[in-house]
Amino acid sequence: MVNLVLYFLGQPETKALLTLFVSIIILPLSAFSAPLVPHFIWVFLRSSYLFLGIYFVGVCCLVRWIARGGQYDALKTKDLSGKTYLVTGSAGGIGKQTALELSKLGAKVVLFARPSNLQQTISDVKKVARDAKLVSGYPIDLADLRSIKTGIEQYKKSEGEDAPITALINNAGVMACPYSTTKDGFETQMGTNHFGHFYLTQLLLPQLIKSKSRIVNVSSLAHAMWQVPCTSDTYAKQLNKQTYTPWNAYALSKTANIYFTQELHRRFHTQGVTAYVLHPGGVDTGLQRHVALSQVFFAPLRMLLFKTQLEGAQTNLFCAVSDDVVSGKYYSDCRETELANPHANNSEQAREWWEYSEKIVAEKIKQWD
């Protein structure tokens, strides 16, 4: 438990919050009572709106700088001409920002998004792309296996069965939503965050292997919020409405992302496929729409304490582009990081979860007939 607390305290948003607290509350109070400073000076400073304004702006700038976390500054020097990136969840948040940044650097970018958002997303990315002809998109709903199959079939028909893939960025996700199930009967968070990406990656595996591609999976520090392994039994508790809890279900789906990455590395690294998993940080996106507290109490602080979408996309971009990454590892703030949940670093559990995922996805597909 102590290690977990220290892990959370080390996060940029936590450091930023503590800095804000110290700067706004503790330091001024202690300074006003400092015995070595004449009282009339503190009276003057406290009554000076200019001083208070400068102090407040300075604190906000410092907090904002801390909250941004690690940045992939080397990206600005990259030329991604001739490279192809596939991005899920590209209609908004860090997925869209990832696509925007890659397209600016000359990459071919393939967008996977829900049908209702796809055309607007394609239009937005084309506006900033170095070459608008290199931006394409296909309708995919990660909460619907049939939609995934249809979308990938359209992609292969249009781009070619052997179209090269530099990296697949499995970014789409949902967080802490009320209980519901997908069209295939999965608990919604696990169905979207894991099973959908598992099936999509399976459909692309021949191309990924042939291209010796990278696979980037977006997990979260929230994998540590429920200190249990991801198994068929723990998943069954979240599939049951009576025992469902939004944050436990989210944590479990993020542990599943980590297992998926570890198994991708174990099974395919000898064939040239590499896999990375990451925590993007606390980012101000629509992912928090189901978290009432963040919408009300924390709303005024989000601009200060949470990363912008560009800042939140940095580790996505780092894992997709940088040469300084190691397959099978977990990244945060553009550097390799230890996992906060000891159950998440278990090769046997990862293998069993892969086999379970294969089995249950295959069973759902058989029901189509």
Farthest CA pair distance, the chain? 84
Measured in degrees and rounded to the nearest 5, phi and psi for residue 286 equal -70, -5
187 in Cβ contact with 247 (< 8 Å): no
Q: Is 88 helix (H, G, I), strand (E, B) or coil?
A: strand
In this structure, are residues 92 and 38 in contact, taking their beta carbons and an 8 Å threshold?
Answer: no
Active-site hit among 250, 259, 330, 331: 250
Q: Is 117 exposed, middle or buried (0-12, 13-18, 19+ CB in 10 A)?
A: middle
The rounded distance, in Å, linking the Cα atoms of 162 and 207 is 6
Cβ 172 vs Cβ 192: under 8 Å: yes
Residues 84 and 273: their CA atoms lie apart, in Å, by 15
Query: Phi and psi dihedrals of 15, rounded to 5?
Result: -60, -40
User: DSSP secondary-structure letter at 193?
Assistant: I
Residue 192 and residue 112: Cα distance in Å, rounded?
13
Rounded-to-integer distance, Cα 265 and Cα 267, Å: 6
Pairing of strands 274-279, 108-113: unpaired
Q: How far apart are CA 203 and CA 149, in angstroms?
A: 8
Helix axes 12-21, 2-9, angle to 10 degrees: 80
**First vs last Cα of the chain: how many Å apart?**
48
Q: Which region holds residue 215: left if phi is over 0, alpha if psi is between -120 and 50, else beta? A: beta
Tell me if residue 72 is catalytic. Answer: no
Catalytic residues: 250
